[in-house]
A and B are shown apart, each in its own frame.
Chain A
């Protein structure tokens, strides 16, 4: 059992795992200086595209012949999708015109969205490179280096999916699609007296015995593999020991969302639950990197709870006979709800003091579709919303437009909107990922795109402070 005093001692040593709130309270009480707050990253990705018009401030023309940066101060965010994020306009950079044709985002870019690796359409499900969330998690790993949550509303069978994040080639990071399971792995099972983290710890300590016994029967490389395995067991055991202690101490409970009476199943319920879990995991200091994906890299959600018309019809904009609206409106409602929950998550972080400010000051949120700007996207333009400046390392409160040919298009059922095509020479999405790595203090000049013909090197100058 860890008591408060031990915590404080651990704090002085800079090693205690405590939630940011407890840390700052403790530091205040002890009159001690805190180690620098960790940087946090939240990626919110959804299917079927974030249309350029849905990310374009009101009354600003979409097209531009050259790189254009304008302040968001006097501009209003467009309705329909991102308006719930309006309170965070001063932390926001809207980006129009990034290129991602090499990622083939038609129906979702799969692993390509966060890895930026050029891929043929059929490659999207193959794990071929590190994704940006994993790269950032490596810089300052939390107790859970990266938490990837999926929204596969209504699909009860899927508990784990793949298709967005990866540690590297051949190393997929599973997407936890069931909020109740995500809850359990982060906060332990609710409603029992048993501390399952400590039970897991005991389990791992027990199974290392089987491995240790065979050590002497192995050659040099076998012993290395065994030691590596033992180290992993030990480090997981430590993690669960800490979680167990935090659970015993009530620290986890304090941050954990309400346990679920019934496992959430409809899409809005799953969205709400996964964002709550993400917010809780961040505010409890369990992780510094969260990815939430509703498309699972493709076209996964069924929109149950928003509509009964089914994913495919909704994506194609067919009419919903029950609601009397088109499918694209259903899709928009789902995205709008995700923006609402993103705003709620940010509000929660903004309420937790950290250093001289709040947790939100050390957090970057990227809100985007893994399908670029529409369902059948070619990736010529990839609208992105970035929020947060990592302590002033990135510029905010601005709209960046890379050269973009704009035109008015009309869909098959009388709606018109402005659409754009980014110039082939525009920066690629990979440069946005380079930017985050630069801001996070692990600059890389190239993120997974070592070819010569695209604009892929270095951070986006317009985004960096």
Chain B
């Protein structure tokens, strides 16, 4: 059985088209697809031609998956053409997965050489690209991206695109634009931040759409704001004059109103075309309904303008972003806010024309202590995935049996644990912010420090960290010593961090201070309770997910999804350790994939699934051994005695650093990297290394690459925006 995946419409269009002419498409046509594929196709000498691919299938696959025999109901003899339907697309992806994981051809069959296998995989990816299905996540070959000698000019622009404002960006937009208007202060965005299961990131440009429900919600948000602006005194003068003049308004008054509303809401003047369209709209409404509806409709219209909802980054063929849109891109990439006055001024004065000028602005914003760090923090939250800790429900019987929240009544245990899991997340947030502030060896520090913050969460519930809160807490705890040291019981968090003595030395605690956990017990975020709990199940650790995380997020590898035929279940043997129960994954069929995960996850058996360090499990010494294999790097491969050793080895690896850079690129550019981005990634990695691991330097490099500065489309487009003039700035 195949898993039918829903592909985006542009893919289906391709397929539809391909379907219509499929009879005419023979093997030769496939090779032409490879040659004429669009800008994203990644044909290279590493890929087979269509004929070679067909020969490859014939040699290795067709005996069992061909016209005569279709084992597992799969036939690939027809595969050497572009996919023609959703089902075939799924088959292509499945074949790639089988080849990449080494499951196929089976061990007892004739094996292709590693090079042949790679060539087949590459040409299959090429065929997918020809119908608009691009590589995602780590599917882009790491070595090809960072190949030595690829240091040349970066040349990949990003497609012209719409990027929906994130939830906080949307909310801040209203708060900043309509300061003092109550409905704007309280509204909630029509969407929330939900991580994409494939990338783990919640805010990639192509991932989000605005449909009926979102628009309806948006309209509901803006209606009371419009009402208050129209009725209150905060309306711009031009609107008040228009209201007074009513149907007698002059053309100048109408146009001035349009310009004023554009400037208030979109921070720019209308283009000539927009000025005329909107003025016409106002005049029509004036004639039909009078001043009040006309003013209301104008405000509504501009609040429904695409730039009030998206980063709009369109392009005529290939061009640099215009200064105003570049200013927006910089601001929304680094923060959850629109461009500040200095950035708008730079855009207006054409001081964003060179990479150096852009870099100066990027560093200005990052170095400014007033800049909210939350969007940058969110990258780390989503990259490490530790914020999922409170999602892993631990029930009272489990907490009771493990004696985790001993001080609490049975009925309170779940609540207290849930609050503790939020505290872990918040503590990790603070640790990351602190590492970012120091800005040296950021990744290595995050992977190896044995420090943590603790009890940083001042209120109940899952409120996300806010910038103001960080400031407030620091001031509060330094100026008011009486608020310190209020523990009535030893908080469960301190026990798990092994910082119990803090409870005795109450005065020694402050929320903005690092505390060292016992030497040798912890190494960075991956051993922090927030991550350990996030990567656990309701009743146990999850070594498989932990190993998978390391393979994907640190080593940049791709792991296949769990085969649908597998009923993944460990034996229910409470008297055996998890390591022992996991013997089922060692069956030959499973082990091909599990060998890449389990030995990396099992060293974390040093901790229980509440994140507690332990020496024994079921009264036996913990076996925390594991090993790394198949990375091709002799510095990395080999056995480890435990999680700390494993992490320290990984933290010293150049490849791990590069994979981190790839993820930073994805998050901040808002799309997957492609092979064309290789030079930009090489440069970004170099900037990181040369700055002793500075996140700011890394971001400055990525934000000055063509991927960030330029947009491309395949057609003519008349840029609708003119930058604001300096005089017109607030």
Q: Which residues of A contact B (CB under 8 A)?
A: 102, 104, 118-123, 125-127, 157, 159-160, 162, 167, 169-174, 176, 181, 185, 194, 199-200, 202-204, 206-207, 209-211, 213-214, 216-229, 231-233, 235-236, 378, 451
Contacts and interface: CB of A to CB of B under 8 A. Distances in A.
A125 B221 CA distance: 19
A203 B304 contact: yes
B10 A224 contact: yes
Interface string B710-727: 011111111110000000
B332 interface: no
Contacts of B306: 210-211, 214, 229
Contact of B461 (A125, A217, A232): A125
A206 to B, nearest CB: 5
A118 B211 CA distance: 28
Contacts of A236: 212, 215-216, 219
B592 interface: no
Interface of A is mostly: helix
30 contacts: A102-B393, A121-B415, A122-B462, A162-B188, A170-B192, A170-B194, A171-B191, A172-B188, A172-B192, A174-B217, A194-B289, A203-B304, A206-B301, A209-B277, A211-B306, A217-B315, A219-B713, A219-B714, A220-B8, A221-B8, A222-B314, A223-B10, A224-B8, A225-B164, A225-B206, A226-B162, A228-B211, A229-B211, A231-B211, A451-B538
B183 interface: yes
Contact of A185 (B220, B285, B390): B220
A335 B147 CA distance: 70
B212 A224 contact: no
Given A120-B393, A213-B720, A218-B162, A232 B713 contact: no
A228 B210 contact: yes
Contact of B192 (A127, A210, A222): A127
Nearest to A213: B720
A50 B103 CA distance: 57
A157 B186 contact: yes
Contacts of A225: 161-162, 164, 206, 208-210
A122 B460 contact: yes
Nearest to B538: A451
Contacts of B419: 122
A123 B462 contact: yes
A225 B165 CA distance: 13
Contact of A122 (B194, B461, B715): B461
Contacts of A203: 297, 300-301, 304
Contacts of B213: 167, 171, 173
Given A122-B419, A209-B277, A217-B717, A232 B210 contact: yes
Contact of B314 (A157, A162, A217): A217
B390 A221 contact: no
A236 B212 CA distance: 7
A194 B293 CA distance: 9
Nearest to B307: A210
Contacts, number: 168
Interface in B184-231: 186-188, 191-194, 205-206, 208-217, 219-221, 223-224
A125 to B, nearest CB: 7
A194 B160 CA distance: 40
A104 B417 CA distance: 13
Contact of A210 (B220, B297, B300, B305): B305
B159 interface: yes
A219 B390 contact: no
Contact of A119 (B187, B206, B393): B393
Contacts of B719: 217
Nearest to B716: A216
A196 to B, nearest CB: 9
B411 interface: yes
B232 to A, nearest CB: 16
Q: Which 7 pairs between the two chains have the least Cβ-Cβ distance?
A: A219-B159, A217-B314, A217-B717, A120-B418, A170-B194, A170-B192, A221-B206
Contacts of A220: 8, 10, 132, 159
B220 A174 contact: yes
A235 B212 contact: yes
A123 B425 CA distance: 14
A218 B301 contact: no
A426 B132 CA distance: 50
B427 interface: no
Contacts of A200: 219
A120 B162 contact: no
Given A210-B306, A224-B8, A224-B9, A229 B209 contact: yes
Contacts of B415: 120-121
A214 B161 CA distance: 10
A160 B160 contact: no
Given A120-B421, A236-B216, 19 more contacts: A174-B217, A174-B220, A199-B293, A200-B219, A207-B304, A210-B274, A211-B306, A213-B718, A217-B711, A220-B159, A221-B8, A221-B10, A222-B160, A225-B162, A225-B164, A229-B162, A229-B306, A236-B219, A451-B538
A32 to B, nearest CB: 31
Interface residues of B, number: 76
A121 B719 CA distance: 50
A174 B160 CA distance: 33
B627 interface: no
Nearest to B714: A219
B469 interface: no
A225 B314 CA distance: 13
B244 interface: no
Interface in B147-163: 159-162
A120 B390 contact: yes
B263 interface: no
A231 B211 CA distance: 8
B191 A170 contact: yes
Nearest to B422: A122
Contacts of B205: 221
A37 B393 CA distance: 42
A121 B192 contact: no
B375 interface: no
Contacts of A213: 718, 720
Contacts of B411: 378
A217 B316 contact: yes
B312 interface: yes
Contacts of A172: 188, 192
B391 interface: yes
A231 B9 CA distance: 14
Nearest to A208: B304
B291 to A, nearest CB: 13
B281 interface: yes
Contact of B162 (A119, A157, A169, A222): A222
B440 to A, nearest CB: 35
B657 interface: no
B281 A199 contact: no
A174 B183 CA distance: 14
Nearest to A160: B220
Contacts of A231: 211
A219 to B, nearest CB: 3
B414 interface: yes
Interface centre among A126, A203, A233 (most CB of B within 10 A): A203
Contacts of A226: 162
Contacts of B716: 216
Contact of A214 (B215, B224, B312, B417): B312
B286 to A, nearest CB: 13
B182 interface: yes
Interface in B310-324: 312, 314-316
A179 to B, nearest CB: 14
Interface centre among A120, A122, A232, A451 (most CB of B within 10 A): A120
A216 B159 CA distance: 11
B297 to A, nearest CB: 6
A176 B221 CA distance: 11
A233 B210 CA distance: 10
A217 B718 CA distance: 8
